Structure 1
């Protein structure tokens, strides 16, 4: 069997960082990373596209990354994207929407410790990412600490532990055991039944609010008055929002009437939001709030940006959130 031809796109991050007077700064190139991972059974090319701490990766960088993946996708069997961990889940989710129906596996990875440190987790994560890029079905993935996760379901949950990422509300696509990569047959990957079309049109003028007791609903209107075009609200429990004294529910109704979509998710990391169960959720639903169901916050905010970038109005956004586009949401949870 011919060896797989893979591409490493490097963007900086902790994995490529070195100590400086200002702290850890991305300095290593993609070739430097590859030199520290020996005996890989693949034909690997390397291209450096960014050299940034991922805290500085924003919509402009998302577009550039997506454009490069789209440009090179037909030349390789798979692509690995090295990336800082802090915003990697956001990038993975956004790439899932920008590159729907991608024909090859694209695997994001990084590390908690720079690759030039003796006990770094970077070499193992890179090996896993290359193996995933060579064996996974087409799609956007995140590989970390012996787990391969769907990109739009990945969340960073730890700051220093090597087990930094988890697959939320669905199991990992695969795990590494003594038998190698073992795929989970229960995780369904969207089939590539259409041609991949690059679509980087997004509207980043959105906000994500974590509700807390005493939050002033007038702040929502103030954000809209200053250019915000959509809001994700992380409500309590199943997505509940208060309406006594500080009427969040009423504020949502006003925003919906102004064609500002409001997506209701849960502050809880696991399981779904369900606006139908309690009065505080039903009232928000009646005002037009859009349920995020079991989506991650990273996926909800990037999906909202992408939807608004397509020029969708509030009703079209609601329909879009009622659709499982890339595996980001479980629709059948709500009947």
Structure 2
């Protein structure tokens, strides 16, 4: 721990510079995010449609639904926001349409718009759709356009599904009608072939033929009713407005809002990054100091007295390596009277 404190004291100016740059930039960015972000949101009340108004085939129960209606609608809205065509339709209904038309990279612009949308579940029957950006007018336009495009697409899908179910019912109705006509012709043929008094066996057979006709007529009436209900189900749901109702309309905000979470996250990231850089600097500084200078060892040797010196020996430029040994011997045994060797 001592060597890290020593390294921190040694590089305190660098540490202050790093913290000033990283923390200053992060806090400035967090303040800018908080002070220049506007949010508009809509609260929506949703209900599950009555089974009497749905166009599903009652003979096909399908998979049981275990999600709440709010979570279903939230998932639906989230999935729609993942498609570029949905985002494009939304943007084209706002003041950002000209920006979309001039965009050099439309995909990037749509992805940027998608990131500013947020859909969250508030309860079993309530959800919230919000949009945040730096322009105070854009959020309310985006939320209103998203809700409108979602409603149109859901109704279109419902009409398509209703048409498919209606086609199925018509095919079943045609088959049942053919069976009824065949049963009626068979009964007429039986009556024409047995004009007199019928035996017990013939009466039983005639009763069976009549029962087949009655069953076919009942089947026709049931299929006709299902086809009629499927034809008007989408229109009834559209006119009622109870399945998807906006209880809190989006409003244009005059003061910044919605940027608090992003600002806090940005500030925390900058603080963590600054602390990490300082810790890395102190660690590397302590490691290099131990490797190069050995500060603890030098501190322990500081009280030692000088016990020897090594003089510099100058050898002439023309001298060979064999003359170095006599020169060192002369220095070692010099009594102070002989002159020193020099170049």
Q: Larger RCO: Structure 1 or Structure 2 (Cα < 8 Å, ≥ 6 residues apart)?
A: 2
What is the TM-score with the length of structure 1 in the denominator?
0.18
Q: Which structure has more strand as a fraction of its residues?
A: 1
Q: Which structure has more helix as a fraction of its residues?
A: 2
What is the TM-score with the length of structure 2 in the denominator?
0.18
